Amino acid sequence: MGTDTAFVMTILVLSYAVVSGLVNRWYIAPALIFVGFGMALGPFGFGVIDAGAHTQSFTILAQLALTVILFNQAAMLDVRSVVRRGHLPLRLLAIGIPLSIILGTAVALLVMPVMPLWEAVCLATIVAPTEVALIDALLEDRRIPERIRHAMSAESGCYDGFALAAMLAALALASEQADPDPGRWTWFAVRVEGVSLVVGLGIGLIGGLVLVMSHEHGWMSDTWAQLATVALALVCFAVGERLHGSGFVTAFAGGLAYSMMVRRAGAQMPSQVTDAAGQLLELTVFAMFGSYAVFVGWRDADWRVVVFAVVALLVVRLAAVSAALIGSDLPARGRLFIGWFGPRGIGTLVLGLLMIERGEIQQSAIITQAVVVTVTISLVVHSLTTPLGVRLWPIPPAHQPQTVPN
């Protein structure tokens, strides 16, 4: 990223900050706005944003953003609470995620029969993760029942970690077809999954213990406690990558361990700076995504890619959630709400980048196009339909106007 691009991105962030409250009221995903900025200011527009040669800057930023986001999502999860507060999150995780991947694979094979089986699994896994951070304004609306908001947040927090593990396993099997060395790919899968998980848990536990003790003894201010949390997430990623595993699995596991340590100590660790850092990195990624990838992806995609994206995004998600919630006490509008509002975002982008970088597969171009088309459609559709989602729920009594007796 050049100096001019960095300057323009700074101006975009400042401009958005001025109207961010209004955007929240309109339920528009900030990511959609930054994609629009990128399209207007990128090489196909005014040419003032340049992601650099070979999209290296985009890849680095996307990896940093997903690292912080995964760590934050894991750190906000309370596994005991997920189990204790109800069966909805467990149903979405245990049934909804595998079913989404299975149905997505079937759609990929049906619509694009040239795609080998394990590459179809890779594609289905890449486009499956949801990112409710893109609809924060909607989920902050108190008309949405708390258990639905909690279930969707828990699902989104775990989805990237589960999808990453499934994608890397499928990628190993798909690559094995091009490089049939079972020992090499088996060790690759074990290293990525097992080693990364163990290392992440260890770093999270040790880092969480140190940060909690320092904060409780007053050795560290709130601001530095939050900056230290960002640093801990990046340490997890760096160590995971240095061990030739997955920095993302390490970061997610580190966030879980950090969360367990903080909750066990009963500490109150501030998180505003950590959340802001994740959002800033994410929006920068979407601006760069809009500047180049949107035009190229849509230009090269044929009708099969678009059909797959639409079906995977809207039909597969609804079918998987509906099946996962069969027998639950959630009303039909609740199942419709959860099934419809499953936006795809930076998790899908980064999984696509990992597939290109680490795999030895045949249909990488088609998968790349499908990622671009799916994320773009999701940003538009879910932003435009959020007002309709709010209308599914009545205004809570506390927010209804009071009638003054005569």
- Mean pLDDT across the stretch 46-75? 79
- Mean pLDDT across the stretch 219-223? 84
- Picking from 366, 253, 350, 364, the residue whose alpha carbon sits closest to that of residue 308 is 366
Residue with structure tokens 């879980």? 256
Burial of residue 397 (number of CB atoms within 10 Å: 0-12, 13-18, 19+): exposed
Res. 187 pLDDT band, cuts 50 70 90: low
Phi first, then psi, for residue 343 (nearest 5°) are: -65, 150
The percent of residues in the chain predicted with pLDDT above 90, rounded, is 34
CA angle 90, 91, 94 (to 5 degrees): 75
The pLDDT assigned to 189 comes to 61
- Picking from 298, 351, 277, the residue whose alpha carbon sits closest to that of residue 39 is 298
pLDDT tens-place string over residues 30-54:
999 999 999 999 989 988 887 655 6
- Measure the CA–CA gap between 120 and 105, rounded to whole angstroms: 5
pLDDT of 348 higher than 90? yes
Fold of 39-49+56-384: Na+/H+ antiporter like fold (1.20.1530)
Mean pLDDT for the chain? 84
pLDDT tens-place string over residues 248-290:
888 888 988 998 888 887 777 766 667 788 888 889 999 999 9
pLDDT of 402 higher than 50? no
Res. 191 pLDDT band, cuts 50 70 90: low
For residue 253, the surrounding DSSP H or E stretch is helix 247-265
In the chain, domain spans = 39-49+56-384
